Amino acid sequence: MADGREILYFDADPGVPRTATGTREPLQTTTHSQRRFDPLLGEWVVIASHRQTRTFLPPADLCPLCPSTPERATEIPESEYQVVVFENRFPSLSTSHEDPIGPGAVPDTEGAGSVGATVAGSPLTPLRDGFGRCEVVCFTSDHDSSFAQLDPQRARLVVDAWAQRSAELADIDGIGQVFCFENHGAEIGVTLSHPHGQIYAYPFVTPRVTRMSENVRRYRKSHGGNLFGDLLADERAAGLRIVAANEEWTAFVPPFARWPYEVLLYPHRRVADLPDLEAAQRDAFATLYLDVLQRFAHYFDSPMPYIAAWNQAPTPGSGVAREDWWLHLQLFSTRRAADKLKYLAGSESGMSVFISDTTPETVAAELREMR
């Protein structure tokens, strides 16, 4: 792109020429992201103050994710595209930092717990630059479409893009986990309505994956089995919470669902991450996922807002075990009724204890009936 960011095109026809050069005016930022370690929870927090000025709900004729026209340059310089991935214009994490530490830092002192810098006035709070990578994945050039409206071939192309990017990003020295996800719907907080998702390459293993990995390890030690696999086997045998299934995947509402509408999609054959998926698994996922998304879209009078989050194994260089990890997708909505949202109030936000407004078995039965 004109400002040096990378853009990649994924096309069903490998012969499509992609030669246009981006002409959109480069963006100048004066701040850079940091990560600060919370010693009480043992988790990293990313500080990215420059994102306050990011694009927010522009009208369709000013959408930066639509193809470029002679009259207006967008993020994608081509006149059309199928699936495209590019570095985020407003990244939370970046592989390039002019200032490696940023403002508010002091040299690390004795007892700070790690080599590097700490936050000024807080020697117990390690401070690092916001190393990593953030990418945008556009699913279609059609501004008025959605993932649920894609055909299986295009959905499969998106899976291939996720897999290719996951493999390449995981190879970057210092990346601990790659996270592919989609935020859909204004109620979720989407700032661009064009059909798209994102990919974050974190310089650490996220709290969710760390905790699951620890539980999987303990389960292996005490039961001799795979926690993911045994959970999937139990759900397939019971059938109570299954929403849909095919020969390669099962979609079910977890018996411990914390969101009003939540579905997990598991492959029947264990793989650690998206690059490990075989062709048959990718094809079958595209079909089943579109099925489940259509059920979400038709459950209420208006399409259900959702977050789709891929849970991949940590990268080989992360130091966290991968051998028992079972790739899966978590799909959930913050809507709890046609005209009501699930707000994360005191118990959820303050103590991380979710209180569900729905029953997993009822939700699964109702989603099964949707077409």
DSSP output for 67-79: BPBTTB--SB-SS
Coil vs helix vs strand at 201? strand
> Which of 32, 184, 194, 196 is the catalytic position?
196
Q: Are 27 and 48 in contact (CB under 8 A)?
A: no
The helix-helix angle for 279-299 and 360-369 (nearest 10°) equals: 100
Buried b / exposed e over 56-91, threshold 16 CB at 10 Å, is eeeeeeebbbbbbeeeeebbbbbeebbbbbbbbbbb
Question: How many angstroms separate the CA atoms of 156 and 248, rounded?
Answer: 14
Q: Are 333 and 253 in contact (CB under 8 A)?
A: no
Give strand pairing partners of 128: 35
Determine whether 97 is an active site residue. no
The helix-helix angle for 207-223 and 227-238 (nearest 10°) equals: 80
Q: Which residues are catalytic?
A: 196
